[in-house]
Amino acid sequence: MQMKLTEIAHALHIEMQGLTETTITQVVFDSRQAQPGSLFVPLVAARDGHDFVAAAFENGASATLWQKDHPLPAGAHNYLPVTDTLAALQQLSHYYLKKINPLVVAITGSNGKTTTKDMTAAILAEKYQVVKTQANHNNEIGVPITILSMEQSTEVLVVEMGMDHAGELAALSSLVDPDIAVITMIGEAHIEFFGTRAKIADAKMEITQFLKPTGTFIYNGDEPLLRQRAQSLTQEQLTFGRQSSNDLRASQIVPTKEQTTFMTNKWPQQQFLIPMLGDYNVDNALAALSVGARLGVELPKMQQALAHFQPTKNRTQWLKAANGAQILSDVYNANPTAMIDVIKNFSRVPAAGRRLLVLGDMLELGEQAADMHAQVAQAINPDQIAAVYLYGDLMKSLQVALKQSLPVYYYQLGQMDLLIAALKKDLKADDMVLLKASNGLHLDQVLAALLP
């Protein structure tokens, strides 16, 4: 970005004298990332960002926001006083978005939103100047920071949106006014806060509240909860999935260890390839193809983009252990639908040795947590899986459900060292192992212990 400090003050309705005119090229909320040209945003959270304003200036920051309920330091210079720093960050991002005026593709869903975002951005980059959400910075802070990272040449913004509670997606939708809104699917993620999948669907549909009247709503048509709710919208709608009623549907899906191929009804003579394991990732590709086709990207370029896109780290990523074993890392997040899907796909991958599972708790499932963990047993076939390692208090329910149908090793929270030691001792060079859990279980530490 490039904005004069006086323009930022104007955008935030701040009238003040004595600003040193300077060009802001970056907005940060971590003082360690500050440098000349940075506007520092001191957010008030578990740690109060105002405590780090001095450090931001020491690192070269050119200006800072400052929440008015904090005493202004003596001699403060290029401090922009605002009522609420987070609200000001969002207000500034909305102003900047209107200034650059790109097409906006907003993506949410219980599963697959990060992968769909990566696929969509790769496809659209074949025709447009694209900026996308980095990593999974998809909340009330990450979305405005993504907006403010755009260069003036940006033609399309692909923004991922997450949520934990009702109202969050409506607020994010109001920030970006999407031209295209995408819902990948409805699962059980955050059901602790919503109670039912129907209420999760209601919350996901909030992404359409600020969809432009001329915009397009693209969603998984295999989900009755979405089809039902989409009937109230007047915007153009496109569906994707496996059922014959969808506008774009997949067939002849062939998953292998490191890639998956499929065909579609829209381009019946053309095969698509994605460099990922998992037929569930085909649905993400269908969503991305729907966006690409809607925005006029040529078919060969869409095929090329899908075949070579780079997924965000720790999304069904194959790695090699120090002893040569193959690791399928999917440790960023987990819910029952996603865990069952990845286990089923992993179980079909040809293996020279054994297939092992390392599964950790799935969080935010509320009162249904025990039952939902037990349900994962349906995906574990003793003819395909040699042993299961379970970590976390909730995984006790899965241990019971498996009923000693195969070797199961259970470790409570706090026993990760024991898990790592046992796994290192058991893992052979020709084995394959899947690691899957919610991010809060920190199975990335198990992964790190297995890598060279």
Residues at the annotated binding site for ATP? 109-115
Backbone angles phi, psi at 96, to 5 degrees: -65, -35
Give burial (CB, 10 Å; 0-12/13-18/19+) of 45. Answer: exposed
Q: Which tokens sit at 48?
A: 């109060």
Question: How crowded is the C-beta side of 82, counted as CA atoms within 13 Å?
Answer: 27
Annotated binding site: which residue ranges?
109-115
Beta-strand relationship, 180-183 and 103-108: parallel
Spell out the residues 6+ positions from residue 12 whose beta carbon is closer than 8 angstroms to its own. 80, 82, 88, 91, 92
Give burial (CB, 10 Å; 0-12/13-18/19+) of 177. Answer: middle
DSSP letters for 351-405: -SS-EEEEEEPPPS-GGGHHHHHHHGGGG--TTT--EEEEESSTTHHHHHHHTTS
What distance in Å separates the CA atoms of residue 177 and residue 182, rounded to the nearest whole number? Answer: 13
